[in-house]
Amino acid sequence: MDRIDQACRLHDRADRDFTAGRLTSAERACRTALVLMRRSAGLRHPDSVNIANTLAAILEARGRYSEALEIRRQSVRDAPDGQEIELRMIRVQSWEGLGNLLRVMGRYREARPVLRRGLELSERTLGPRHQQTAACLNDLGVLDKYTGRFSEGMKFYQRALRIARAAGDQQLIATIYHNIGGLEHARGRFAAGVAPSRRALELRRNALGANHPAVAADAAALAGVLDGLRRYGESRRLYAMALRVFRRCYGPVNYDVAVNLNNLACIESDCGRHAQAEALFRESLAMKEKLLGKNHPDTALSLHNLSTCLRDQERYGEARACARRALRALSRRLPESNPKVQAVKNVLKSLENR
């Protein structure tokens, strides 16, 4: 077997392991595949760039964003020219991967032009009705949710959904429904978020089984909208299932684990169990600080939630300090009109003269 064949086989193995949530073995196989392919075919060979993009995705799932960012930038530089469909797909996916990672890292202003570039490239080189174009539209919808541009985000999702339905791509349809539910949750329309969130979970569970991490993510998203309706019995069960899967697949320190701990803490806080809530908030916060850094908007969300928990316990000085930290972090990345910024300001206002 020559080195290129060996690299392709290792990449296939890495892809299978990644899909199944076996991240350590996926990374090992993918790194070896990348070294072999680059030595045999060069940095700009399509397979080299494709394997590099897979490795970046694995590193992102493991919370190693700085390493992944270096690889994503290299892929954009190395993406090969040419008119073959495979080459056009690799170019678009390289821009898409870089933009999504910048969004995950909270670098929203940098992410937008990169994702726009990916969409423009996909529409021009693959066509406005191509499934990859739908994926790029979906990515911009996610960014708009995080930046509070809900109407614009819904338009992107609706365009993406029409393309995905026409293509019959059930996994992409499930992803878009998941994100529509998340957008409705973000703008406080919880009842409207239930149906798309349930549909995403149903589609993905039918395709992948109950123990897949993507199914766990759908379950956690549904739990979030149910929380907004105070249907805590069902949401607790969904969070517990999601946490079991995430911990088994990704280990105890992972972004998805941190998010679900934060959400469970919100339930405890709303039910008046402040000590239990505080412990969960602090666990989630420590995890996010390690994975994302102290100034990431998602870290600020946990700080904000912790501040409200401390306020409800009449620990006003600690609450004020957490809220101020959250506001400083959010103000670096989001405009003053953003709902997250306003929520933290409301907490600080409630703490005046306390």
Q: Answer whether residue 85 is part of any domain.
A: no
Judge if 70 and 103 occupy the same domain: no
b/e per residue, 290-328, with b = 16+ CB within 10 A? ebbeeebbbbbbbbbbbbbbbbeeebbeebbebbbbbbe
* Domain of 219, in residue numbers: 169-243
Judge if 130 and 179 occupy the same domain: no
Q: Answer whether residue 87 is part of any domain.
A: no
Judge if 98 and 141 occupy the same domain: yes
Judge if 183 and 145 occupy the same domain: no
> For 280-308, what is the mean pLDDT?
93
Per-residue pLDDT reduced to its tens digit, 323-351? 999 999 999 888 888 888 899 999 999 98
For the chain, the domain total comes to: 4
Per-residue pLDDT reduced to its tens digit, 252-268? 998 999 999 999 999 99
Distance CA 347, CA 354 (A): 12
**Which residue, of 59, 80, 101, is where some domain finishes?**
80
Q: Answer whether residue 323 is part of any domain.
A: yes
Whether 254 contacts 214, CB under 8 Å: no
Judge if 122 and 197 occupy the same domain: no
Q: Answer whether residue 232 is part of any domain.
A: yes
CA diameter of the chain: 74
**Which residue, of 243, 269, 284, is where some domain finishes?**
243
Whole-structure pTM value? 0.87
What 3-state class would DSSP assign to 298? helix
Judge if 274 and 209 occupy the same domain: no
Judge if 261 and 354 occupy the same domain: yes
**What mean pLDDT, rounded, does the chain reach?**
94
What 3-state class would DSSP assign to 344? helix
Of 202 and 2, more confident: 202
Is the pLDDT at 1 greater than 80? The verdict is no
Q: Answer whether residue 86 is part of any domain.
A: no
Is the pLDDT at 28 greater than 90? The verdict is yes
Per-residue pLDDT reduced to its tens digit, 91-116? 999 999 999 999 999 899 999 999 99
- The CATH number assigned to the domain holding 127 equals 1.25.40.10
Residues of the chain with pLDDT > 70, as a percent, come to 100
Judge if 271 and 287 occupy the same domain: yes
Judge if 197 and 230 occupy the same domain: yes
Judge if 258 and 354 occupy the same domain: yes
Q: Answer whether residue 27 is part of any domain.
A: yes
**Which residue, of 243, 270, 295, is where some domain finishes?**
243
Judge if 222 and 192 occupy the same domain: yes
Q: How confident is the model at residue 23 (pLDDT cuts 50, 70, 90)?
A: confident
Rg of the Cα atoms in the chain:
21
CA-wise closest residue to 218 among 208, 204, 232, 207: 204
Judge if 157 and 108 occupy the same domain: yes
Residue 165: the pLDDT is 97
Whether 94 contacts 117, CB under 8 Å: no
Angle formed by the axes of helices 232-250 and 213-228, nearest 10° = 150
Q: Answer whether residue 271 is part of any domain.
A: yes
Per-residue pLDDT reduced to its tens digit, 47-80? 999 999 999 999 998 888 999 999 999 999 999 8
b/e per residue, 210-240, with b = 16+ CB within 10 A? eebbbbbbbbbbbbbbbbbeeebeebbebbe
Q: How confident is the model at residue 45 (pLDDT cuts 50, 70, 90)?
A: very high
Residue 20: the pLDDT is 81
- The CATH number assigned to the domain holding 53 equals 1.25.40
Q: How far apart are the first and last CA of the chain?
A: 73
